[in-house]
């Protein structure tokens, strides 16, 4: 493949990373495409299979080595859920035992809730979101 094809494909993948919510996957494939294209431009003569092998090796190596560090640096691995919901009021939809699970309503939507408090919750009781893990709200009795 000509060098400019690798550069164009790499640039396209980088643009796709910026536009799509891929969570830092395409950036490594785009960077690998740019590196292969620049290597060919600099005079590396390699058959197509070797170019693809170099592209794959660079993509996978950077994905495995760099991506976890980048996510840690940006704080992505600490974000467990909708943190903006912490402190909001949830209405328990049913009786929920201490350390038990059930359903509750928040902002007109039914959520899975976990009673993180030491006392059972009654149906209709108001609770506060203490933390969020994925789509589960960990709540404690209000007041």
Q: Using one digit for the tens of pLDDT, what is the confidence trace for 3-39?
A: 999 999 999 999 998 888 777 789 999 999 999 999 9
Contact 85, 129 (CB under 8 A): yes
What domains, with CATH codes, occur in the chain?
Answer: 3-77 (no CATH), 83-141 (2.40.50.140)
Average pLDDT across each block of 10 residues of the chain; the chain has 143 residues. List them in order: 94 92 86 96 95 96 90 65 80 91 90 90 92 87 83
- Determine the 3-state secondary structure of 19 from DSSP: helix
In this structure, the number of other CB atoms found within 10 A of the CB of residue 132 comes to 19
């Amino acid at each position: 493949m000509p060098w400019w094809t690798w550069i164009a494909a790499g640039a396209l993948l980088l643009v796709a990373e910026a536009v799509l919510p891929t969570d830092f996957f395409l950036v490594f494939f785009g960077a690998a495409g740019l590196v292969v294209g620049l290597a060919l431009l600099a005079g590396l003569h390699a058959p197509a299979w070797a170019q693809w092998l170099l592209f794959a090796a660079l993509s996978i190596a950077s994905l495995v080595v760099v991506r976890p560090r980048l996510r840690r640096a940006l704080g992505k691995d600490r974000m467990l859920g909708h943190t903006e919901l912490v402190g909001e009021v949830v209405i328990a939809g049913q009786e929920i035992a201490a350390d038990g699970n059930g359903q509750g309503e928040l902002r007109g939507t039914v959520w899975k809730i976990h009673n993180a408090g030491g006392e059972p919750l009654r149906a209709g009781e108001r609770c506060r979101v203490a933390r969020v893990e994925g789509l589960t709200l960990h709540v404690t009795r209000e007041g």
